[in-house]
């Protein structure tokens, strides 16, 4: 809760959202003006966030802002874990990309020294940073990923210094010229976060990194789409220290979800109508859209239908789809390369879902929602209209090389 009845009566809404009379954060007039439009008895609680709504940014169609940056994440673990369609760094098609991010590295939670995830990464990282030769894209290291929140002690001043120094040495050793911090859930207790402590100290970490690194070293920060996690980011305080943010406009829904009534319902993981709503906190926080990259998913999420005759969005499902032959996950995640092969092998006809700006294929009791080059272009045009300054793909190894 927020406002007068919150913990210690002092909890503000993260990302500067409005605190309603009943103590909940939101973005509509019911939160930002009055929850009782007729009687005016339930006004927004001033001093705990904004008490006005904010419009979406708007840029002229075809402005081209979205093309200023094009980033590709690369999952190094694909070489070790994938049965087929393995992609080594030297096989990546870099044409059109301004940056490539190597995902992921981590660090020792006791010494805060940055380290490789696997011994194979040593040779692969050098191969990866070689992509920047001959006017190739910038090559950065991404830290975090499955590490959902930074370790508890990282927020202490002396430990931040150890991490920052070690990271600089690590980047210089392997030839990286920037770092992407991919801690998606700071402040979230179930993920190991510490609410206000993380909110307060994360900008300090970025400030100290920026002061310690040469000006030609880049820093970026990943932002999750779900407000339950995004609320713990003081993104406005971070903005001056990062080159840009990466907004994860995907993974909105998974096969693990159930409705409040316990039933299941297929929803698109990259539904543009939902994505639009989830960008609202960015504008309430006053972020410059030119410093935000829009995320694109080079994979689909699939479901096993509860009733094969109901094979569209909002139909019930019994679990995730059958795993792809190469990615072989149990969570319904299927790479774009696998989807294209599946369409050809099963003689399927994809259906374009214009309202969601995504595609679906279905056969038997299987349903997959996904994006491809056509929907990437549509989403980038949409994001361009909101003045986003770039885009990124998760991940290039999911695509056909």
Residue 189 has pLDDT above 80, yes or no: no
Q: What is the mean pLDDT of the chain?
A: 94
CA distance 199 to 400: 39
pLDDT for position 99: 99
CA distance 314 to 242: 39
Residue 194 has pLDDT above 80, yes or no: no
Higher pLDDT, 45 or 199: 45
pLDDT average, residue stretch 212-239? 96
pLDDT for position 21: 97
pLDDT digits (tens, 9 = 90+) for 114-164: 999 899 999 999 999 999 999 999 999 999 876 545 666 777 788 899 999
Ordered domains of the chain (ranges, CATH)? 1-53 (no CATH), 65-296+373-398 (3.20.20.80), 301-370 (3.10.50.10)
Residue 226 has pLDDT above 70, yes or no: yes
Percentage of the chain exceeding pLDDT 70: 96
Half-sphere exposure (CA, 13 Å, Cβ side) for 34? 8
* Alpha-carbon distance values, 169 to 44, 89, 165 (Å): 49, 22, 6
pLDDT for position 234: 95
pLDDT digits (tens, 9 = 90+) for 341-374: 999 999 999 999 999 999 999 999 999 999 999 9
CA distance 199 to 194: 8
In the beta sheet, which residues pair with residue 295?
392
- pLDDT-derived band of residue 195, with 50, 70 and 90 as boundaries? low
- pLDDT-derived band of residue 110, with 50, 70 and 90 as boundaries? confident
**Which range in 184-193, 254-263, 366-375 is most confidently predicted, on average pLDDT?**
366-375
pLDDT average, residue stretch 202-228? 96
- pLDDT-derived band of residue 259, with 50, 70 and 90 as boundaries? confident
pLDDT for position 326: 96
What ranges make up the beta strands (E) of 78-166? 99-107, 114-115, 138-144
Residue 286 has pLDDT above 90, yes or no: yes
DSSP string, 172-241: HHHT--EEEEE---TT-GGGT--HHHHHHHHHHHHHHHHHHS-TTSEEEEEE-S-HHHHTT--HHHHHTT
pLDDT for position 248: 98
In the beta sheet, which residues pair with residue 294?
247, 391
pLDDT digits (tens, 9 = 90+) for 3-43: 999 988 999 999 999 999 999 999 999 999 999 888 899 99
Question: What tokens were used for 207?
Answer: 């400030």
| Dihedral pair phi/psi, residue 341, rounded to 5° | -65, -40
pLDDT average, residue stretch 87-95? 97
Residue 218 has pLDDT above 60, yes or no: yes
Percentage of the chain exceeding pLDDT 90: 84
């Amino acid at each position: 809760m927020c406002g007068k009845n919150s913990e210690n009566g002092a909890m503000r809404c993260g990302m500067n959202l409005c605190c309603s009379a009943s103590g909940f954060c939101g973005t509509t007039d019911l939160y930002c003006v009055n929850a009782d439009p007729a009687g005016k008895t339930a006004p927004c609680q001033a001093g705990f966030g904004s008490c006005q709504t904010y419009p979406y940014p708007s840029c002229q169609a075809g402005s081209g802002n979205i093309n200023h940056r094009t980033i590709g994440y690369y999952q190094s673990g694909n070489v070790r874990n994938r049965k087929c369609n393995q992609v080594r760094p030297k096989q990546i098609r870099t044409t059109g990309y301004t940056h490539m991010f190597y995902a992921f590295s981590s660090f020792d939670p006791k010494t805060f020294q940055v380290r490789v995830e696997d011994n194979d990464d040593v040779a692969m990282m050098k191969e990866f940073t070689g992509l920047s030769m001959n006017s190739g894209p910038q090559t950065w290291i991404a830290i975090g990923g499955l590490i959902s929140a930074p370790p508890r002690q990282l927020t202490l001043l002396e430990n931040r210094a150890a991490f920052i120094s070690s990271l600089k040495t690590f980047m210089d050793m392997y030839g990286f010229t920037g770092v992407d911090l991919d801690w998606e859930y700071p402040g979230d207790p179930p993920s190991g976060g510490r609410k206000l402590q993380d909110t307060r100290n994360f900008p300090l970490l970025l400030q100290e990194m920026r002061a310690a690194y040469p000006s030609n070293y880049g820093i970026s920060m990943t932002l999750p789409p779900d407000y339950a996690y995004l609320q713990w980011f003081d993104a406005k305080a971070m903005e001056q220290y990062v080159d840009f943010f990466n907004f994860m406009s995907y993974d909105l829904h998974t096969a693990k979800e159930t409705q409040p009534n316990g039933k299941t319902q297929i929803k698109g993981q990259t539904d543009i109508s939902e994505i639009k709503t989830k960008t609202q906190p960015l504008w309430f926080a006053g972020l410059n859209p030119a410093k935000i990259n829009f995320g694109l998913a080079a994979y689909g999420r699939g479901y096993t239908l509860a009733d094969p005759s109901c094979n569209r969005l909002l139909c019930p499902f019994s679990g995730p789809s059958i795993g792809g032959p190469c990615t072989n996950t149990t969570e319904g995640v299927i790479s774009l390369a696998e989807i294209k092969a599946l369409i050809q092998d099963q003689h399927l006809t994809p259906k374009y879902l214009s309202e969601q700006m995504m595609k679906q294929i279905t056969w038997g009791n299987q349903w997959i929602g996904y994006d491809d080059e056509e929907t990437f272009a549509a989403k980038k045009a949409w994001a361009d209209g909101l003045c986003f300054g770039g885009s990124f793909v998760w991940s290039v190894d999911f695509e056909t090389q």
